[in-house]
Homo-oligomer: A and B are copies of this chain.
């Protein structure tokens, strides 16, 4: 606790759901006490540019600059570059808006000058005048790789399973193909970025955001040292379930849990997080499963977890911090 009795908070974060919770968190406590430790497993290099989708979603959301309809990228966006890229038959399935491109140009230029991702991320967050700290979980490359079920209808008759990057799965194939396995390329050699372990070890509350446990929180925990640090803080770790009523609020978390042999429910989430988190926050819709969550070994808190707006996110954050 800081002298005002306000808790320091570390939030393990993926993209949209985490960004919304963080937008509430900086209302619940002074932003300077909040550190977001963000997934980089979705990062990609495209057109020679370094793109960090989860970091950008967190930054743009906290800057109140995110496009509310799409849930990614900047509002008031234009698409002139992508339109002209179509002329060349360039790669346009990963949409980069004209304003958004500036972030990738800046990141790429700074990294080509030798700046680590964590430094550039701090610079980007400062440019948007964010009060919280946004830190990639690692400055080293860790790439989420998904093994997909072969599609018997595919042209050329793909016979064996196929391994693809996260964005290939998520954006290009619109997460419509069953997942057989997930791994995080580079995880063994990766080191936590400066400040990551300290943030986890010194926080009064460590929050696992309502992000996909497999492909958003998974790569964060896969960086050597992080899972162990979280486990050591288990009694102060509060996870928020990304599954409500058996469904992911966004994305394929429910299907992916099932495909990988987990229960696509708050109980499945509880079993995954039981070694790491002392508390799981679930939605009112899942109140009937609270006993099953506790049977998995976590304290269960039931509340409204749907972050319809910033006020709802702030209310949820307050509950998370004071369970």
Q: Which residues of A contact B (CB under 8 A)?
A: 45-50, 74, 78, 80-85, 87-91, 98-106, 108-109, 111-112, 123-124, 127-128
| Cα distance A45–B123 in the bound complex, in angstroms | 22
Min distance, Cβ A6 to any Cβ of chain B, angstroms: 30
Q: A47-B49, A109-B48 are in contact. Are A102 and B124 (CB under 8 A)?
A: no
- The answer to whether B106 touches A47, judged by C-beta atoms less than 8 angstroms apart, is yes
Q: How far is the CB of A98 from chain B (nearest CB, A)?
A: 4
A89 to chain B, nearest CB (A): 7
Q: How far is the CB of A44 from chain B (nearest CB, A)?
A: 12
Find the B residue at minimum CB distance from A99: B84
CA distance A11 to B98 in the complex (A): 36
Residue of B nearest to A126 (CB): B88
In contact, B127 and A88 (Cβ under 8 angstroms): yes
Contact of A81 (CB < 8 Å), options: B101, B112, B123: B101
Q: Which of B47, B100, B105, B128 contacts A90 (CB 8 A)?
A: B105
Q: How far is the CA of A148 from the CA of B100 in the complex (A)?
A: 37
Complex-state Cα separation, A128 to B84, whole angstroms: 11
**7 closest A-B pairs (Cβ-Cβ)?**
A84-B102, A48-B108, A47-B105, A80-B98, A85-B102, A88-B106, A90-B106
Closest B residue to A111 by beta carbon equals B48
Q: What's the nearest-Cβ distance from chain B to residue A249, in Å?
A: 29
Q: How far is the CB of A113 from chain B (nearest CB, A)?
A: 10
CA distance A105 to B90 in the complex (A): 8
What would 9 more interface pairs be, CB under 8 Å, given A48-B50, A81-B99, A84-B100?
A47-B108, A48-B48, A48-B108, A80-B80, A81-B101, A81-B102, A83-B99, A84-B103, A90-B105
Query: Interface centre among A50, A106, A112, by most B CB within 10 Å?
Result: A106
Q: Which residues from chain B contact A100 at a C-beta distance below 8 Å?
A: 84
Contact indicator A91/B78 (Cβ below 8 Å):
no
- Shortest Cβ distance from residue A135 to the other chain B in the assembled complex, whole angstroms: 18
Closest Cβ neighbor of A48 among chain B residues: B108
Question: Which residues from chain B contact A101 at a C-beta distance below 8 Å?
Answer: 81, 84, 98, 101
Please tell me which one of the listed residues B46, B81, B127 contacts residue A109 in the complex, with CB atoms under 8 A apart: B46
Kindly list chain B residues whose C-beta atoms are within 8 Å of the C-beta of A74.
Answer: 84
A76 to chain B, nearest CB (A): 9
B88/A123 in contact, CB under 8 A: yes
CA A50 to CA B78, docked complex, whole Å = 23
Chain B residue at smallest Cβ distance from A86:
B102
- Report if A88-B47 is in contact (Cβ < 8 Å); known contacts: A80-B99, A101-B81, A101-B101: no
Once the chains are docked, how many angstroms separate the CA of A318 from the CA of B239? 76
CA distance A90 to B99 in the complex (A): 13
CB < 8 Å: which of B85, B111, B123, B128 contacts A106? Answer: B85
